Amino acid sequence: MAHGITENDTMFSVKKRPWHGLGTIVNEAPSIDEGIKLAGLDWLVEKEPIWTESGVKCPSNFAISRELPGGEKIVLGVVGEQYQPLQNIESFKWFNPFIESGLVELETAGSLFQGKKIFILAKIKAENLVVSDGDEIERFVLLSNSHDGTTAVRVGYTPVRVVCNNTLTLAHSSQGSKLIRVRHTNQVQNNLVEIRETMDLVNQQFLATVEKFRYLAKRDIVKSDLERYVNQVFSIQKLEESLSEEEMPERKSRLLGRIEELFESGRGSKLAGKTMWGAYNAVQEYLQYERGHSWTNEEKRYNSLWFGDSANINRKALEIALQN
């Protein structure tokens, strides 16, 4: 398939293509039961013992497997004895109290690498936050899980810039991250107050972060400021040490040149203007749509954006923008 998702990976999104640009479109936000089926995540993983060809059982390692739609079974990863899998339905049900209380609705969900990694994105039902005229931020809760043992279950708060569908970084304070640890049962009404209080903390965190975005939007910069920012975000000095004298000028020029183009005429650049907010958004656009474009498929690029190196650069980009 052109987008690189395997035939055993499926996903959905509501009304429009989500920020990752993939998925089957549905008209309304689904329930938990509907969502897991639309996402193609209504399957179980199993933790199974590993045996050698000679019949000896491995004492400390286990295989995590799943069954594909056609009945074939595949191994997603090898884990240790203490590893306990989190089933997809359990990940979906984590959102139940928030959905039933009307605070969020499912936006998109799906899998990567034949189910090795899954994600669920729910939209917080609140007014968009305005950075500047016409430049608005939507608020989401993202849960991701790895069935191959490479990452823990993660829950984060993800702002999305409406005008260009860019995902932005949100730094988690200890209070804001309290949502990750919220305890819930099937008795939604009994813990509704706690959930609302927790969501209030999340909204406070979003408001504080948007103030940072507004601060960046008021800071005009020139070309030399942008170049210094890119050098810091992508650790150009360290890159220079690892590449030959022949490789470095071309790599540096290509990276800087492309981000300068996005700064001048990228998605939403007219609204961001020649500001540090515009520079930060140019880096986000590069990470989301450009970096790794030569990789064998988009699956790897999104994996890096959500789980890997690009996610780290994403966070670093905001920190440096605020420091400059």
pLDDT one-digit tens code per residue, 114-168: 899 888 989 988 888 899 888 888 888 888 888 998 877 777 777 776 666 666 6
Question: Could you give the CA distance from residue 141 to residue 155 in angstroms, rounded to a whole number?
Answer: 7
187, 266: one domain? no
* Residue where one domain finishes, among candidates 214, 243, 261: 214
* Residue where one domain finishes, among candidates 187, 214, 241: 214
Task: Tell me if 5 is assigned to some domain.
Answer: no
Which of 206, 213, 30 is closest to 126 using CA atoms? 206
208, 224: one domain? no
201, 103: one domain? yes
134, 248: one domain? no
Give the strand order in the sheet containing 73-80.
45-51, 57-67, 73-80
Question: Could you give the CA distance from residue 321 to residue 181 in angstroms, rounded to a whole number?
Answer: 30
Q: Which parts of the chain have pLDDT scores under 50?
A: 1-5, 171-192, 243, 293-296
97, 189: one domain? yes
Question: Could you give the CA distance from residue 138 to residue 158 in angstroms, rounded to a whole number?
Answer: 8
210, 224: one domain? no
Task: Tell me if 6 is assigned to some domain.
Answer: no
Task: Tell me if 189 is assigned to some domain.
Answer: yes
Question: Could you give the CA distance from residue 14 to residue 321 in angstroms, rounded to a whole number?
Answer: 32
Residue range of the domain that includes 236:
219-323
62, 183: one domain? yes
Question: Could you give the CA distance from residue 158 to residue 196 in angstroms, rounded to a whole number?
Answer: 19
Task: Tell me if 4 is assigned to some domain.
Answer: no
Question: Could you give the CA distance from residue 119 to residue 9 in angstroms, rounded to a whole number?
Answer: 12
pTM above 0.85, yes or no: no
Backbone dihedral region of 294: left (phi > 0), alpha (psi from -120 to 50 degrees) or beta?
A: alpha
197, 248: one domain? no
Structural domain count of the chain: 2
Backbone dihedral region of 27: left (phi > 0), alpha (psi from -120 to 50 degrees) or beta?
A: alpha
Amino acid at 265: S
Task: Tell me if 178 is assigned to some domain.
Answer: yes
198, 250: one domain? no
185, 102: one domain? yes
62, 190: one domain? yes
pLDDT of residue 30: 94
Task: Tell me if 136 is assigned to some domain.
Answer: yes
209, 64: one domain? yes
Q: With beta carbons less than 8 A apart as the criterion, state whether 116 and 186 touch.
A: no
pLDDT of residue 256: 86
Strand partners of residue 79: 62
In SS3 terms, 174-224 reads as CCHHHHHHCCCCCCHHHHHHHHHHHHHHHHHHHHHHHHHHHHHHCCECCHH
* Residue where one domain finishes, among candidates 194, 214, 234: 214
Task: Tell me if 3 is assigned to some domain.
Answer: no
Task: Tell me if 1 is assigned to some domain.
Answer: no
Question: Could you give the CA distance from residue 132 to residue 197 in angstroms, rounded to a whole number?
Answer: 28
Q: Which helix (H) or strand (E) holds 45?
A: strand 45-51
